[in-house]
Amino acid sequence: MSSSTSSPPWDYIAKLVCIGDSGCGKSSLTIRLCEGRFSPQHDVTIGVEFGSRIVPVGPPHSKTLGTSSAANGDGGLPDPPKSDAQQKHMKLSLWDTAGQETYKSVTRSYFRGASGALLVFDITRKQTFAHVTDWLNDLRQIAEPDIVVILVGNKADLAQGEENKREVTVAEAEEWASNNGVLQYVETSAKSGEGVELAFMKVAERIFDNINAGKYDLNDRRSGVKGPTPGMGGRNQVKLGDQNKGSGGCC
């Protein structure tokens, strides 16, 4: 089959940015999601780095999100409910931004055209949590009003056992998220993989809900979401390699 008649394996492309202080593990979270591995040694991000991952959104997959593994009594995940609906897929275009103050003028430009953001802090460093308000204010000054934001407390693996290094409680983070209009709070460990897919999927599912609610102009790159190209009759024909990374637009 020729490439001109085949459809890409996604229905939508959404631009997400990972923001937060340097050293919180933003790059490690992106690598864990996109490549399924943990890199213990990672150079400090200079400017912006890029990754992508295609994920299922909407039913039937979304019906299993957040379901307790004990619900079916055998310790495994429940079977997806039967549905005649075609599973939709979203390509998450992930922009991992530098957390150092030196690069803020550069990284802020990438907030434009983002439909989702992971606001990351290190649960073992209280100072990084204190700075999330500044990061959120910067984001909301530049990004579109409907941007979906989730608060992510990374390095949960360091908050276990006798050598618990936690400096920010779950209650503190959840209260901040609630008071600041953030979708929710999720704790992650880029090292173990705990919570990583959940954090990204929560953002993807809310973006999908917003698509269905008509909140985005899918033909306007500033919305942060691209949908099926008019007249193509199939899935989105836009390829990420065709985008100008320096433009700060969608994906």
Q: Give the CATH number of the domain where residue 202 resides.
A: 3.40.50.300
Residue range 98-117: mean pLDDT, rounded: 72
Is residue 138 very low, low, confident or very high in pLDDT (cuts 50, 70, 90)?
very high
Is residue 47 very low, low, confident or very high in pLDDT (cuts 50, 70, 90)?
very low
Whether the Cβ atoms of residue 69 and residue 76 lie closer than 8 Å to each other = yes
Q: Is residue 229 part of a domain?
A: no
Query: Count of domains in the chain?
Result: 1
Q: Is residue 213 part of a domain?
A: yes
Is residue 218 very low, low, confident or very high in pLDDT (cuts 50, 70, 90)?
confident
164 burial level (CB within 10 Å; 0-12, 13-18, 19+) = exposed
Domain that holds residue 98: 12-62+87-224
Q: For residues 234 and 229, what is the distance between their CA atoms, to the nearest angstrom? A: 8
Q: For residues 152 and 201, what is the distance between their CA atoms, to the nearest angstrom? A: 13
Q: Is residue 250 part of a domain?
A: no
Is residue 71 very low, low, confident or very high in pLDDT (cuts 50, 70, 90)?
very low
For the cut 90, the answer to whether the pLDDT of residue 145 exceeds it is no
More confident residue, 67 or 87: 87
Residue range 214-239: mean pLDDT, rounded: 66
Q: Is residue 72 part of a domain?
A: no
Give pLDDT, residue 60: 85
Give pLDDT, residue 101: 52
For the cut 90, the answer to whether the pLDDT of residue 19 exceeds it is yes
For the cut 50, the answer to whether the pLDDT of residue 23 exceeds it is yes
Q: Is residue 144 part of a domain?
A: yes
Is residue 104 very low, low, confident or very high in pLDDT (cuts 50, 70, 90)?
low
Q: Is residue 26 part of a domain?
A: yes
Q: For residues 28 and 157, what is the distance between their CA atoms, to the nearest angstrom? A: 13
User: What pTM was estimated for this model as a whole?
Assistant: 0.78
Query: Angle of helix 196-212 relative to helix 26-35, nearest 10 degrees?
Result: 80
Greatest Cα pair distance in the chain: 60
Residue range 45-72: mean pLDDT, rounded: 68
More confident residue, 75 or 211: 211
Give pLDDT, residue 105: 61
100 burial level (CB within 10 Å; 0-12, 13-18, 19+) = middle
